[in-house]
Amino acid sequence: MTENLVIIGSGPAGYTAAIYAGRAQLNPIVFEGFSAGGIPGGQLMTTTEVENFPGFAEGVQGPELMKQMRQQALRWGAQCITDDVIAVDFSQRPFVITTDEQSIKTHAVIICTGATAKRLHLPGEELFWNNGISACAICDGANPLFDNAEVAVVGGGDSAAEEALYLTKYAQKVHVLVRSDRLRASKTMQNRLLSHDRIQIHWNCEPVRVYGDQVLRKLEIQDIQSKDLTELFVSGLFYAIGHIPNTELFQGQLTLDPLGYIHTEGKSTATNIPGIWAAGDVQDHHYRQAITAAGTGCMASIEAERWLAENALLIESATMNLSLV
């Protein structure tokens, strides 16, 4: 059996595409992801308050927003499978999408795999990843091991500032390691960082190596100009140095831009292969917002529906709405 449409990813882009495709009776299959490239629900699962998503005058918790989007997709008949796609074959039609447990044939694909936090891959990092080193302070900060301990945040932007301030709830001292001599964070955030008595900013430096035994104990940091090395005794290290698009699966099959994002054509979400669209952060390093991800997810779904109809590939699920009442 060949499906109409497979959607890969379950952030705002994926669920919005699923809502539109469900309402268009395409019976979409959504691979929500599991542990590759983030978690089901996407990046907003790792944040607390979302203040700029229209429709929520008082703000909304990221996970709550994603739960609502998922419910809405399910309500319109999307079939959600909580698993990672581990391979795709776009060289034949129908396309083939593979997980550890199954392979699915489909006429159309919408890619919404988003982006994941960058890591530095320092010597020793592998040993302490998820064991002191993390890219999500909100997820991993509330840990008994950080109570009254010292931790470090790498980065100088808004997310670094946000993570550092959040970590002061738990840690006794937060070191912020900035590569240059200034912060890229907004003025408000800068002021909050600079005036906090338990946050210390280290300018012009970067971590070069991590040490520990069972757990992380110490960082070696290097002054970028003088190359001098110093030690910092911390039990946590948090990266806030940006994101990379989750496009590894598609390398060699789809056209990517020089930064690794999926290339889309003009004002559409079409990729270089007809029948495949890309929406959300995986094709956008400019806006990177939940609302733009949702917007492009909607575009991709409408484009896919038209293409399926024009190519007479559409199998409508006329009975679907009946089973939903």
Partner 1 sequence: MTLPSDNLSMQGRQALEQLQQISDQTILVKFVAPYCPSCETLAPVLEQLVTDYAGALQLVTIDMTEEPELAIMLAIRSAPTVVLFKGSTVIETIAGLKPKKVYREIVQKAIG
Ligand X SMILES: Cc1cc2nc3c(=O)[nH]c(=O)nc-3n(C[C@H](O)[C@H](O)[C@H](O)COP(=O)(O)OP(=O)(O)OC[C@H]3O[C@@H](n4cnc5c(N)ncnc54)[C@H](O)[C@@H]3O)c2cc1C
Which residue in the set 9, 37, 40, 280 belongs to the binding site for partner 1 (CB under 8 A)? Answer: 40
CA distance 285 to 288: 6
Instruction: Give the count of beta carbons closer than 10 Å to the beta carbon of residue 260.
Output: 16
Residue 43 CB, nearest approach to ligand X (Å): 3
Interface with ligand X by CB under 6 A: which range of 25-33, 139-147, 172-180, 256-264? Answer: 25-33
Contact set for ligand X, span 246-305 (CB under 6 A): 246, 249, 280-282, 288-291, 293
Annotation says 136 is catalytic: yes
Which residue in the set 13, 18, 45, 104 belongs to the binding site for partner 1 (CB under 8 A)? Answer: 45
CA distance 248 to 274: 20
Residue 19 near residue 72 (C-beta atoms within 8 A): yes
In Å, how far are 158, 182, 190, 191, 314 from 187, measured between CA atoms?
10, 11, 5, 6, 52
8 binds ligand X (CB under 6 A): yes
CA distance 136 to 262: 25
Catalytic site residue from 80, 84, 112, 140: 140
Helix axes 158-167, 187-194, angle to 10 degrees: 40
Annotation says 83 is catalytic: no
CA distance 139 to 146: 13
52 binds ligand X (CB under 6 A): yes
> Total residues contacting partner 1 (rule CB under 8 A)?
31
9 binds ligand X (CB under 6 A): yes
Contact set for partner 1, span 80-109 (CB under 8 A): 82-84, 100
150 binds partner 1 (CB under 8 A): no
Contact set for ligand X, span 96-115 (CB under 6 A): 112-115
Catalytic site residue from 83, 89, 139, 223: 139
Residue 65 near residue 115 (C-beta atoms within 8 A): no
For 25-63, the DSSP string reads T---EEE--SSTTS-TT-GGGG-SEE--STT-TT-EEHH
Q: Is the dihedral of CA 124, 130, 131, 133 positive or negative?
A: positive
Which residue in the set 60, 74, 120, 138 belongs to the binding site for partner 1 (CB under 8 A)? Answer: 138
Q: Which residues of 144-153 are buried (b: 16+ CB within 10 A; e: fewer)?
A: ebbeebbbbb
60 binds partner 1 (CB under 8 A): no
Closer of 34 and 211 to partner 1 (Cβ): 34
Provide the binding-site residues for ligand X, judged by CB under 6 A. Answer: 8-14, 31-33, 36-44, 46-47, 50, 52, 84-85, 112-115, 159, 246, 249, 280-282, 288-291, 293
Provide the binding-site residues for partner 1, judged by CB under 8 A. Answer: 34-36, 39-41, 45-46, 63, 82-84, 100, 128-132, 134, 138-140, 142-145, 147, 214-216, 236
The residues annotated with a catalytic role in the active site are 136, 139-140
